[in-house]
Each structure stands twice: as structure tokens, then as C-alpha cells.
């Protein structure tokens, strides 16, 4: 089972424009949508539609409409309180796939809420193959909270994946090897921010930067590089995967789908290159769908993903 934590859940509003976004003008939307969101929620949603047992842990009132909507869709949701209402995130997508996001701050988390969340995750981890800590932290949470939760989860047999950014990611990296997860999933910009690199859209450079994190205790780094695919670096080697041709509609949730694809492949016992291929296939499928629509297994074409091995030490060819 995959247990996910969305520490800062959201309602995701998506506005799809019929032309380019022009600041200061009145624009007409081609379509709009609204759905529960947050990285962990998206990962659990992808798991559910793929038939993988999953449980989503969120700090949210149990009677909140977001919770009711998720449960009505079939998702197993565990709420932890006392917590405020989910934040509102707004995404604007243009016909060429350009995506602009305006994310709300979220409700302020108390120390009591954070303690309750950590305790519940440790409890849920007893039944989990993977625990995923995903997304931003709410206001009031210390930047190092994810690192503290990783350390607490080490008392269980579950493997731990982290997908976050900004101060929480920097705090996690600064504290390595303490609190090192089994899998870290940054994008190119996030990977650069914690390794001191300037630009990591190049797969070889990204793999070399990811290698420094593996050397510091992270078991695996899955770095997504947008149109350049993704790299996977573990103690055993480095690989780069090129995505299939994709008509990009919205990149929102593509990284979450990539992470789920990797976890799905790992649960199936697939090799590292196969895990990377399924991760990239899931991300590409998500990018070709509107809003935060999650891909179903028939939409995922891992057979169209090309994977090449990189030097296991330097990350180069």
C-alpha cells in the first residue's frame, strides 16, 4: 500500500485559455474545472485509478466538502485535526501548454496538529510499502519538519519518498544524512537549489548533481527535467529516460504522476531502468491531459520511453 501525506491540501481551480495569457486584460476562458488537489492527494488518486491500495492522510476537517468529494470518488482518506480549510490554488493554462500557478498559503498549522500528523503517519506506515511526504508545508510548520518525520518513520519497515521544494527541501538536504529518504523527487530547478548547480536541464549534469545527494545518504534520486525526461540515480548506477512525443496540455500534476509511476514499478519489482521508464511514461501521459487530470493505465505508454545508462560514478556518458 502507498500512504501519502498532503501537509497543505488544496482545492485546485484550473482556467484553460483559448489564447495567450495577457496581463492587465480581460480574457475569456475556454473551460474551467475545480477538484481536490495537493501532491499527496494526486499520487493517491493515481494509485486508486491504477488499482493500487492507497490511503491519503490530510490535515482537514472530516466534514469538509473536499473530503466528501475524495471519498465519493472512492479514495480512502484519513483526516487529522484540528485543522483549517484547504487552500485555494489557481492554475491558468495556455494553448501551447504554458502553465501559470497561483497557490494559496493554506491554514496555519499548530504544533499539536503537526505532532498528530506525524503520529498518524507512523501508525499508517505499519501497513505501507511506501510513505510519501509530498508538497509544501503549511504556515506555522518549521522548515525541517519533513526531516523530523522521515526520522520518525525510520522506526517502521516502510520506505519513504519525499517530494517538496523551497525551504523544506533545503532543510532536508542540509541535514543529510540524518533524515535521508529512500527516494527524493526534485525537478531540475529544485535539484539545482540544493546542490549549488546553475542549470540542470541537461541530463548528464542533473545526474552528476543527483549523485552528490546519493553520496550523502539518499537511496535514490528521481529528477524530472520537463521535456528532457528524467534521470534516476542510485548507488548502483545512473539512467536517463527520454519521453515519448507529447502534445502538452497542462504540466500540473505531471511530477506527481511521475512519482507514482516510479512507486508502481518498484512495487512490481521492476529494475531501475524500468522504474524510470514507467515514471516518465506516467508524467508524459499526465502532461497530455487537462488540469490535474490523472492518467489511467491504458493511457501510459512505457514502451515508447527510451532509457540509456549513464556512468555509475560521474553520471556522464
* Three-state SS at 174: helix
- Which amino acids are annotated catalytic? 256
Q: How far is CA 317 from CA 41, 268, 271, 311, in A?
A: 37, 28, 20, 5
Domain assignment of residue 315, yes or no: no
User: Does residue 35 sit within a domain?
Assistant: yes
Output the pTM of the full model.
0.90
Q: Could you list the residue range(s) of the whole structural domain that residue 142 is in? A: 2-20+29-310
Instruction: Quick: pLDDT tens for 191-230.
Output: 999 999 876 778 999 999 999 999 999 999 999 998 899 9
> Is residue 82 in a domain?
yes
226 in a domain, yes or no?
yes
Kindly report the length of the chain: 317
User: pLDDT for 151-163, tens place per residue?
Assistant: 999 999 999 999 9
Cell numbers 497557490 label which residue?
Answer: 103
Number of domains observed in the structure of the chain? 1
Closest listed residue to residue 186, CA positions, set 233, 246, 139, 249 = 233
> Is 317 part of a structural domain of the chain?
no
Within a domain: 162? yes
Residue 224 lies in a domain: yes
Centroid of chain to Cα 192:
17
What CA–CA distance (Å, rounded) separates 140 from 138? 6
Residue 293 — left, alpha, or beta (φ > 0 → left; ψ -120 to 50 → alpha)? beta
Distance of CA 135 to the CA centre of its chain: 7
Asked, for residue 171, whether it belongs to a domain, the answer is: yes
Regions in the chain scoring below 70 on pLDDT:
199, 312-317
Question: What CATH code is carried by the domain that includes residue 52?
Answer: 3.40.1190.20
Amino acid at each position: 500500500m502507498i500512504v501519502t501525506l498532503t501537509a497543505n491540501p488544496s482545492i485546485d481551480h484550473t482556467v484553460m485559455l483559448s489564447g495567450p495569457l495577457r496581463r492587465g486584460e480581460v480574457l475569456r476562458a475556454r473551460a474551467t474545472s475545480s477538484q481536490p488537489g495537493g501532491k499527496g492527494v494526486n499520487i493517491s488518486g493515481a494509485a486508486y485509478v491504477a488499482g493500487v491500495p492507497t490511503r491519503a492522510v490530510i490535515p482537514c476537517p472530516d466534514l469538509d466538502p473536499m473530503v466528501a468529494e475524495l471519498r465519493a470518488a472512492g479514495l480512502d482518506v484519513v483526516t487529522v485535526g484540528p485543522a483549517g480549510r484547504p487552500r485555494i490554488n489557481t492554475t491558468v493554462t495556455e494553448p501551447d501548454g504554458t502553465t501559470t500557478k497561483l497557490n494559496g498559503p493554506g491554514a496555519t498549522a499548530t504544533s499539536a496538529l503537526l505532532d498528530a500528523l506525524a503520529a498518524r503517519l507512523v501508525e499508517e506506515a505499519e501497513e505501507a510499502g511506501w510513505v510519501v511526504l509530498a508538497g509544501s508545508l503549511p504556515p506555522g510548520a518549521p522548515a525541517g519538519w519533513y526531516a523530523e518525520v522521515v526520522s520518525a518513520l525510520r522506526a517502521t519497515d516502510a520506505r519513504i519518498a519525499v517530494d517538496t521544494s523551497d525551504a523544506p527541501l533545503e532543510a532536508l538536504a542540509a541535514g543529510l544524512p540524518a533524515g535521508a529518504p529512500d527516494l527524493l523527487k526534485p525537478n531540475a530547478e529544485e535539484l539545482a537549489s540544493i546542490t549549488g548547480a546553475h542549470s540542470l536541464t541537461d541530463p548528464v549534469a542533473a545526474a552528476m548533481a543527483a549523485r552528490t545527494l546519493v553520496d550523502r545518504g539518499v537511496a535514490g534520486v528521481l529528477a524530472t527535467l520537463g521535456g528532457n525526461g528524467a534521470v534516476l540515480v542510485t548507488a548502483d548506477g545512473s539512467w536517463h529516460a527520454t519521453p515519448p512525443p507529447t502534445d502538452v496540455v497542462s504540466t500540473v500534476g505531471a511530477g506527481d504522476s511521475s512519482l507514482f509511476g516510479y512507486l508502481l514499478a518498484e512495487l512490481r519489482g521492476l529494475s531501475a531502468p524500468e522504474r524510470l521508464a514507467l515514471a516518465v511514461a506516467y508524467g508524459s501521459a499526465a502532461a497530455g491531459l487537462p488540469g490535474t487530470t490523472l492518467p489511467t493505465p491504458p493511457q501510459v505508454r512505457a514502451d515508447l520511453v527510451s532509457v540509456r545508462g549513464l556512468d555509475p560514478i560521474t553520471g556522464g556518458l
